[in-house]
Structure 1
């Protein structure tokens, strides 16, 4: 199938292009890239792939699907236009600024009879895939609570404005991860760290307390404004705990010049010294890293289109994630625990 990318900033270049290139089920038809600098970057990263000036020009060239990875403020209009033109759509996260807009996009996809899915690629993070295997093994017994953190010393990438902020960015990822592990969220307690003032302020950090309908309580925090890097996953159950401090393996490998297509034998596997530790009554053991690979997201979408089934990232799940973020913003503003309005 033929696919195009709309937008070629950090997201398009680092989180989409390498994995589309590795997924041989797809042919990359072109990229919407307007500035000369962006077109030069595309020519270096994907020689021979044409650049287009607009979404319509890309669709006119012939595509089955497009990836919308432009800034959040532009995403709604482009998703609606692509669906109107009759192509399937992969929307970067957050695919909508609020639940009302999410419902609008879902309705448009239904009316167009085209697939719309959301790029929750971090379901295929190395640490999450490995943690899932620990939970599936039953070694922890019934889970009581979990503590996740994803701190990055990367304040410069946060744009200021009402449609930006860390909660909508990394928050969308970690909320999706935790709901995948422990089920839908019923209630939220939240705090946001703000940078700037008035209409120009942006949240550069958050702490969320998620009360899952399953009875599990998870806390998740992140910051891009505190000059620190940390990544942890701690899960506590009746029989013990699992603790992981793995790196952002796939991003680190890309920055080191590796790609999932050229380096498949080592791709997405954490170094042994950073393996997680499972501690139970039998003692502590290091859990070997499983392979994380965002390429699986694109293979999954292709399978769903061929088979006429739903992709792994369903719209009900994506809408629930947006609703959790809505509740978190309300909780941070009011200081109250807020019930999530939409459950999958």
Structure 2
């Protein structure tokens, strides 16, 4: 199938392009870029790939799907345009600024009878894939609670404006991860760290407490302004605990010049950073599973070909946005906020 990339900032260049290239089921038709800097970057990275000035001209060239990686404030219009033109769409996260906009996009995909999905690539993070295996083994027994963190020392990539902020950025990822592991959320307790004022006010950190329908309680924190790095996944169950401090393996490999299509140990954490399972009377390292964001694009191709929903379902995307809405409301009100009806994904 033929696919086009709309936008060539950090998201398009680092988090999408290598994995589209690695998924040989797809042919990259072209990239939409406008600024001289972005056009030059496309030419350097993809010398034989056409650059288009607009989404419409890219679609006119003939594509089956497009990937919208532009800033959040432009995403709604571009997603709607692509669906109206009859192509399948991958929307970068955050999927929408609020649940009402998410419902609007879902309705548009249904009217167009085209696949719309969200790039929740961190479902294929090395540490998350490894944790899935631990939970599937049943060795932790009944899970009681979980503690996640994704702290990054990088203020430069914070999205500004009313549709920006860290909650809708990293928050969209970690909420999706936790709901994938422990099911939908029915109540949220939240605190946000704010900087600026008025239209320039933006959240640069958060702590969320998620009450899952199935009984698990999870907490997650993140910041890009605290001048610290911390990545952890701790899960506590009736039979013991699992703790992981793996790195952002795939991003580090890309920064080192490796590529998911050719690196033999892609997405595998080195042994000294493996997570530890503590059950019974002992503690044991858990070998790293292989994380690979390429699986998102392979799954998307198979879903379109088979006429089924992709792994990242729209009901799940809506639920994630609703959790983020509830988190913002909770932070403003200073108390827990329940989710309204119509935002719990079906099993």
TM-score by length of 1: 0.99
Q: Deviation string for 1:107-145 (max 9, x for gaps)?
A: 000000000000000000000000000000001000000
Superposition pairs of residues 23-172 of structure 1, within 5 angstroms = 23-172=23-172
Structure-1 separation of matches of 2:240 and 2:33: 50
Partner secondary structure for residue 228 of structure 1: coil
Partner secondary structure for residue 257 of structure 2: coil
Structure 1 regions of 5+ residues with no counterpart?
none
Structure 2 regions of 5+ residues with no counterpart?
none
Q: Deviation string for 1:150-174 (max 9, x for gaps)?
A: 0000011113210100000000000
Partner of 2:15: 15
Deviating runs (4+, > 3 A) in structure 1? none
Superposition pairs of residues 327-342 of structure 1, within 5 angstroms = 327-341=326-340, 342=343
Partner secondary structure for residue 285 of structure 2: strand
C-alpha displacement at 1:336, in angstroms? 1.3
C-alpha displacement at 1:33, in angstroms? 0.7
Structure-2 separation of matches of 1:282 and 1:315: 43
Instruction: Say what the alpha-carbon RMSD is for the aligned residues.
Output: 0.6
Q: Deviation string for 1:219-242 (max 9, x for gaps)?
A: 000000100011000000000000
Partner secondary structure for residue 162 of structure 1: coil
Query: Which deviates further from its counterpart, 192-201 or 12-21?
Result: 192-201
Structure-1 separation of matches of 2:281 and 2:86: 57
C-alpha displacement at 1:282, in angstroms? 3.5
Partner secondary structure for residue 21 of structure 1: helix
Partner of 2:291: 292
Q: Deviation string for 1:76-130 (max 9, x for gaps)?
A: 0000000000000000001100000000000000000000000000000000000
Aligned residues: 343
Structure-2 separation of matches of 1:247 and 1:57: 40
C-alpha displacement at 1:190, in angstroms? 0.2
Q: Deviation string for 1:243-273 (max 9, x for gaps)?
A: 000000000000000010121x110000111
